[in-house]
Amino acid sequence: MNKCLKSATLLASALTLASCGVFNADDEHVGGAFEKLVKKEQEWSDTIQVVDNLGIKDSYAERLYSHKGENFDFKATGSINDIFVGARIECGEDGGKLYIFCGNRHSNGVWFEEPEIVFKDLEGRKMTNEDGYTIRMLDSMVVNKKTYKNVLEFDASDAKKNECSYDKFYIAATKGLLRIDLKDTITIERKR
């Protein structure tokens, strides 16, 4: 059975690598400024402290996995707030796709990555999809007097039907969650 598993694993790995640019590096890529999110090889997880403008403190468990030129996968979940922030990039011949997951926590405490919001054929530094959701790459952003580079902004405030529990979030390419805006008046910010 081990032999069978090894064969299956090898085949799956080969298919994954072939589809993400290792064998066809000229074709598969992440388009526009969104390429900055996949520049650094990184795999890490941590817990950050946040505070909102009402003074309520919370923490977010976050995990980031990114391989150069291939993909970017970020998840963050609130401890007190039922808030899930998820972003994933997959490379592609036409610039790749960026998925946003707002997430819902089910009764058993497990998070489900839904709804799935997709931006296809990544290019430029700002894109709006057919549902009115917008993503934008910022060169930098200041949060609690600290400057973070290469920041992804997700904006659901002009969506036809916002299925997320928040209006906006900001994540830095190498540092993770920076800020979440919700209910027009609430801003949750990462502490230093």
Partner 1 sequence: MRTNLPFSIFAGIAFSISALCLTACEGTTTDNCDKTYKPKYKLADCQKKVGNFKKGKTTHYVHSEGFEFDLKVVKDTTTIEHWQDFCVIAEEEDREVLLTSDYPIMSVYVSFLGGTEKDSTGVTLGHSKPMTISYDGTSYAVELDSTGSPMEAGIKDDIVLLDTITFNGVTYDSVFKIMDYSHFDALNYQDESFAKGELAHLYFSKTKGILRLETNEGKSFTIKEGGDNE
Residues that bind partner 1 (CB under 8 A): 1, 3-4, 6-8, 10, 54-58, 78-83, 105, 107-109, 165, 182-183, 186
Sequence-distant (≥ 6) Cβ neighbours of residue 153 within 8 angstroms: 134, 135, 136, 137, 138, 168, 169, 170
Nearer residue to partner 1 within complex by CB, 48 or 138: 48
How far apart CA 182 and CA 156 sit, in angstroms, is: 10
Give least dist CB 83 to partner 1, A: 6
CA-CA distance, 35 to 86, in Å (whole number)?
17
Q: Quote the least distance from Cβ 175 to partner 1, whole Å.
A: 24
Of 109 and 160, CB closest to partner 1: 109
Task: State in angstroms the smallest separation of the CB of 189 from partner 1.
Answer: 15
Which one, 107 or 142, has the nearer CB to partner 1? 107
Q: Closer CB to partner 1, residue 55 or residue 130?
A: 55
The strand pairing partners of 87, in sequence order, are 74, 100
Euclidean distance between CA atoms 180 and 41, whole angstroms: 25
Task: Specify the DSSP element, H or E, that contains 48.
Answer: strand 42-52
**In the bound complex, what is the minimum distance in angstroms from residue 32's beta carbon to partner 1?**
32
